[in-house]
Chain A
C-alpha cells in the first residue's frame, strides 16, 4: 500500500513534463508570494522594533532574540504548550482511531447519524463554542459541576484550568480525526476485512493487524497536522482563560498573539514564532523518522 517506487525507471513523456511543470510552477509562485515572502519579512522583522500599525521598523540587532531566552514566561509557556499538544494529539488520534474503527464495523447501526453528530463540534465556530463552554465551566451555574456534583472553579484554579482547555479542545476536534480516518478506512480494500472476518479474527485483532498498518499514511497525516496545529493553538486560551490564573495556562502561541496584537510588538512576536517553528519542524521530522517513510527534510 505504501508503494511508491524509488529508483524505478521513470516514464517521461511530454504530457508528464507539462503537468508536472505547471503544477510545480504554480505551487512555487504561490508559496513564494503568499508564504515565503511574508515569512521572510517576519524574519527580518524579528531583528527590528517592528510595529506595522504605526509603520515603525527600527533595527535592534539580536535584542528580541536575547530577550526571549531570558524570559521566564517563554519557557513556562513552552512547557505548557508541550504538555497541551502531546495530550491533545494523543486523544485526538486515539479517539479518532477507535471511533473510526467502530463506525467502520458492520455491527453499528445509524452510522451516518453518529458521523454527523461527532462532527457537529468541529463545524461550530469557535467563538460560539467557547462561550458555551464558559457557561459549562462556570463554578456557580455551570453544567459540568452539576453533572459531576463537584465544586471546582475550572477556569480559575491552577490545577484544573489547563485540563478545562484540553477538554474543550478534545471535544471540539476529535470528530475531525474520525472523519479523516474513516475516509481512509473506506479507501481500503474491503476484501481484506471480509477475509479477516471469515478467518475468525476478532475486533481487536482486526484493528491491530489490519486497520492500523493499512491506515498508516493517514494516521501519520493526522498526527503531524495535529502536532502542527496544537503547537499553534491560542484561541482556546484567548476565549477561556486568557492565560490565567496568573500565567498558568499560557501557551506559546498565545504569548505570540499577545505580543503581536495586544502590544503590537511584531518584531518580538516574530522572533518567538521562529523558535516555535524550529521546534515544530524538529518534532515533525522526528515523527516522520519514527514512522519510517516519506521523510521530508
Chain B
C-alpha cells in the first residue's frame, strides 16, 4: 500500500514537470504550422486554426537547408568525437596520476571557463587570422578540441574508479595505454554518453565562432541560417519555429538512441563499489 502510494506520488511529480517542460515546446511546434498573422493575432488558440505547411516550404526552399544541415552534422560529429577522447584522457591523467603541477594545471583549465568568452573571442579570432586559418575547417574544429567542461567532468568521473582495479591490471603487466583504452574507457561508459550528448548539442547550437571564422556561405552551419530569420526590423516567427523544429530533430533522435545505450550500459558496466 505504502509502495503504491509513493509510486503514485512519484508519477504525479514527474508528470507535472513533464507538462511544464513540454508545453512551451508543443506551443512552438504547433505555431510552426500557423501563419505569422495567426501567431501574432489577438485571438490565440493553442492549435493552428488555419493549418499551413507554408513555413516548412519556405524553410526548405528559401535557403539551402540540407547543405547547412549536413555541415552542422559533420561539424558536431567531429567535435564530439575529438572532445570525448581528449576529455577522457585528460580527465584520467588529472585524476589518477600524481605529478608536479597537476593541481595547478587543473586549476588553470578550470579558470579558463571563468573569463567571459565575450572578451576573448576577438583575440582568438586574431590568432586564427595570424595562423592563416580563417575560413578553414581547422579554425572551426581545433579551438574546440579540448573543453574545460569535459576535462572537469571526466576527472570527477574517474575518481569513482577504484585505484585497486588499475593496480591489479598493472600487476598483470598491462601498460597504461592498455589500461586506459581497455579498462578505464569502458568503465566511464555512462559519463562518456553524457558528454557525447552535451558536446553534440553544444556544437549543434554553436553560433558566433563558426559565423566569424567561416566566410564562404556554402560552409555555413545551421544556427547561422536560423539567425537569418531574425531580421533587422521583424522576425519571421513561423519560419523560425519551423526551422527550429526541424533542426532539433537530429538531437532528439540522437538522444533517444543513446537513452537505450544508457540503460543497457548500466547492467554491462561491471563497477562494483
Bound Cα distance A34, B111 (Å): 13
Bound Cα distance A116, B116 (Å): 31
Interface string of B107-122 (1 = CB under 8 A from A): 1111111111111111
Contacts of B11 in A (CB 8 A): 107-109
Bound Cα distance A128, B260 (Å): 28
The number of A-B residue pairs with CB atoms under 8 Å apart is 290
Contacts of B160 in A (CB 8 A): 1, 187, 217
The answer to whether A187 and B21 have CB atoms under 8 Å apart is: no
The answer to whether B17 and A118 have CB atoms under 8 Å apart is: yes
The answer to whether B248 and A27 have CB atoms under 8 Å apart is: no
Bound Cα distance A117, B273 (Å): 31
Contacts of B116 in A (CB 8 A): 232, 253, 256, 273, 276-277
The answer to whether the Cβ of A33 comes within 8 Å of any Cβ in the partner chain is yes
The answer to whether the Cβ of A19 comes within 8 Å of any Cβ in the partner chain is yes
Smallest Cβ distance from B231 to chain A, in angstroms? Answer: 12
Interface string of A39-57 (1 = CB under 8 A from B): 1011001000000100000
Bound Cα distance A267, B13 (Å): 49
The answer to whether the Cβ of A246 comes within 8 Å of any Cβ in the partner chain is no
Contacts of B110 in A (CB 8 A): 284, 296
Most chain B CB inside 10 Å of its own CB: which residue of A42, A188, A276: A42
Contact partner of B251 among A123, A127, A176, CB < 8 A? Answer: A123
The answer to whether the Cβ of B105 comes within 8 Å of any Cβ in the partner chain is yes
Contact partner of B241 among A35, A128, A175, A217, CB < 8 A? Answer: A128
The answer to whether the Cβ of B175 comes within 8 Å of any Cβ in the partner chain is yes
Smallest Cβ distance from A33 to chain B, in angstroms? Answer: 7
Smallest Cβ distance from A18 to chain B, in angstroms? Answer: 7
Bound Cα distance A2, B273 (Å): 11
Contact partner of A132 among B7, B24, B86, B223, CB < 8 A? Answer: B24
Interface string of A85-108 (1 = CB under 8 A from B): 000000000010011001101011
The answer to whether B118 and A27 have CB atoms under 8 Å apart is: no
Contact partner of A270 among B21, B23, B44, B119, CB < 8 A? Answer: B119
Contacts of B247 in A (CB 8 A): 125
Contact partner of A30 among B145, B204, B248, B272, CB < 8 A? Answer: B145
The answer to whether the Cβ of B1 comes within 8 Å of any Cβ in the partner chain is no
The answer to whether A112 and B263 have CB atoms under 8 Å apart is: yes
The answer to whether the Cβ of A152 comes within 8 Å of any Cβ in the partner chain is no
The answer to whether the Cβ of B71 comes within 8 Å of any Cβ in the partner chain is no
**A/B interface sample: 13 pairs, CB < 8 A:** A19-B93, A19-B180, A23-B90, A107-B11, A118-B18, A135-B27, A140-B42, A141-B41, A179-B198, A187-B160, A228-B114, A257-B118, A273-B119
* Contact surface of A with B, Cβ cutoff 8 Å: 1-6, 8, 10-11, 13, 15-16, 18-20, 23-24, 26-28, 30-31, 33-39, 41-42, 45, 52, 95, 98-99, 102-103, 105, 107-109, 111-112, 114-129, 131-133, 135-136, 140-141, 143, 146, 171, 175-176, 179-180, 183-184, 186-192, 202-203, 217-218, 220-221, 224-225, 228, 231-232, 234, 253, 256-257, 260-261, 266, 269-270, 273-274, 276-277, 280-281, 284, 294, 296-297
